[in-house]
Amino acid sequence: MGEALDLRELDVDTEDAVTVQTPSGSRREVEMDDDPTVLLDEAGFYEISVPGRQPSYPVAVNVDRAESNLARLDVEAFVAASTEAGTASPAAASRRSTREERERRQRAWWYMVLGALLLMAAESLWSNRMTTIGREPTGRKARLDVG
């Protein structure tokens, strides 16, 4: 934010004026003379439209580089930043589960998944057996009685 964008970097080959729409929605006409620059003074997406060419060029402008910081956050700091001051109650704090409590609650899922796999295997075996009942064994040669 606060930087200037040189439209020649976008490979704009035109003598006509280029339309720049700011993130707030206002439009500016920029003449492609000896200094075709646009001051990027708002955060958001700028749309740069060149006459006779589609689509327009989107240009993103961010406010703060700290917004894209991917470092791990402290849980307490995250909760404090994401909740309003004074809304955290003692009951909410007691509901926070420890890692061991979550593991204990999720332990039942392993048994359910194992049971589902065993049920699918049993159903597969049963269906294969049911399709062979009532069939004549294959591989026998037909007998002709000549008489």
9 burial via Cβ count (<10 Å: 0-12, 13-18, 19+): exposed
Domain 3-66 has CATH 2.60.40: yes
pLDDT at 18: 83
pLDDT tens, residue by residue, 124-134? 999 888 887 76
β-strand partners of 44: 61
Domain ranges of the chain: 3-66, 99-131
Nearest to 57 by CA among 45, 68, 74, 69: 45
CA-CA-CA-CA torsion sign (82, 88, 90, 95): negative
Q: How far apart are CA 147 and CA 142, in angstroms?
A: 16
Q: How far apart are CA 34 and CA 31, in angstroms?
A: 9
Q: How far apart are CA 39 and CA 143, in angstroms?
A: 96
Q: Is the pTM of this model over 0.85?
A: no
pLDDT tens, residue by residue, 33-63? 767 788 888 888 888 888 777 777 888 887 6
Q: How far apart are CA 47 and CA 7, in angstroms?
A: 12
DSSP reduced 3-state for 102:
helix
Q: How far apart are CA 50 and CA 13, in angstroms?
A: 9
Higher pLDDT, 122 or 91: 122
